[in-house]
Homo-oligomer: A and B are copies of this chain.
């Protein structure tokens, strides 16, 4: 089955996969409940543990686990040996050879594809570096499809079944999957769903699992960080520093998408209202002071034409070597970033800021000026410190977050996948 599920924005969480006829039934609820407890557990739980944690009877748990085992959603592992009488029960873990999520990304200077298994492990990851600004969208998606086909083949070799996909783009995506504007890529009103129809490697999915979702890369990167990062930080601002700068706002463990799904455009927060003109038509946007091109130019690397993550690592190398121009460029970028972040913290009262994307490797140099601006400018900073830390995933975050979003949809509604299997 090939299709595009271009649901976007607030309504997404309420959307229901069409093929999952039995979702919502008691069986589906029990499947999701038991699967969720297995996913959340610190150690592989036994059937008895699951009965205690779900409130279901032992018999019901056993029947549900049998379905999950048959459907390759979970697997059994041998318990650790222990002292005392009796043979310990076997534990259950998420399967490493069942369904998987395919994560896709088109960015300004690279294409990325990855496969993430149910347990959240990245099992395949390819990045193709290329300046995509002169490339027509249909051709960019064609190149992505070639990478996706290779990723699917690799996943199959590992016994995995990519059951659905999500695509990250550095722009504003509307309810119909239309990319309204991706200023740094030069895309405007690009009908991604129509273009995808030509590329089954991008959209192929299992009946009962929602087809491809198109979403903003900063949103998906924040979701990637939410699930890959330290547990407990359920509210944070995740900033993806690439050629453009996007943010994902996570509140109480959920992505805040805004009224129309277009939140997080921190790159266009004005930090110098009468300052440098921006591609967006505004002036003095954060991107013009802390975006990759501005930093490279300030560091004297304007013509170097380095791809995004290479650029970040090159800057980090120069900074480590004590290059004065690079250190000054990073200080100025961090100060501009800090001005914007201080505004966000004053407004939203977040206590954690995650430097992601190309900012992750530059965190040692960006963090001090960001913290300095926060401490000068945030009203509550004196008694309520803000944590600034690097992202766990860095430049991989959007593609991994995309794949992870597919995995989480399967875990939340396992019935569709199981119906497909039976």
Q: Enumerate chain A interface residues (CB-CB to B < 8 A).
A: 172, 180-181, 183, 235, 247, 249, 251, 256-266, 268-273, 280-283, 285, 339-340, 342-344, 346-351, 376-380, 383-384
Instruction: Tell me the smallest distance from the CB of A305 to a CB of chain B, in Å.
Output: 26
Listed A/B pairs (25) with beta-carbon separation below 8 Å = A180-B383, A181-B379, A247-B347, A249-B348, A256-B348, A257-B349, A259-B350, A263-B349, A264-B347, A265-B347, A265-B349, A265-B380, A266-B346, A268-B377, A268-B378, A268-B379, A270-B339, A270-B342, A270-B343, A273-B339, A280-B377, A281-B376, A283-B376, A285-B377, A347-B347
Q: Number of copies of this chain in the oligomer?
A: 2
The answer for the CA separation of A283 and B271 in the assembled complex, in Å, is: 13
Closest B residue to A264 by beta carbon equals B347
- Given that A180-B383, A272-B273, A376-B281 are contacting pairs, would A344 and B342 also be in contact in the complex, using a CB cutoff of 8 Å? no
Instruction: Tell me the smallest distance from the CB of A266 to a CB of chain B, in Å.
Output: 6
Closest B residue to A352 by beta carbon equals B259
Instruction: Tell me the smallest distance from the CB of A300 to a CB of chain B, in Å.
Output: 24
Chief secondary structure at chain A's binding surface: loop
Taking a contact as CB atoms under 8 Å apart, the answer to whether B350 and A269 are in contact is no
Taking a contact as CB atoms under 8 Å apart, the answer to whether A280 and B379 are in contact is yes
The answer for the CA separation of A256 and B235 in the assembled complex, in Å, is: 13
Taking a contact as CB atoms under 8 Å apart, the answer to whether B269 and A343 are in contact is yes
Our pick among B256, B280, B379 for the contact of A265 (Cβ within 8 Å) is B379
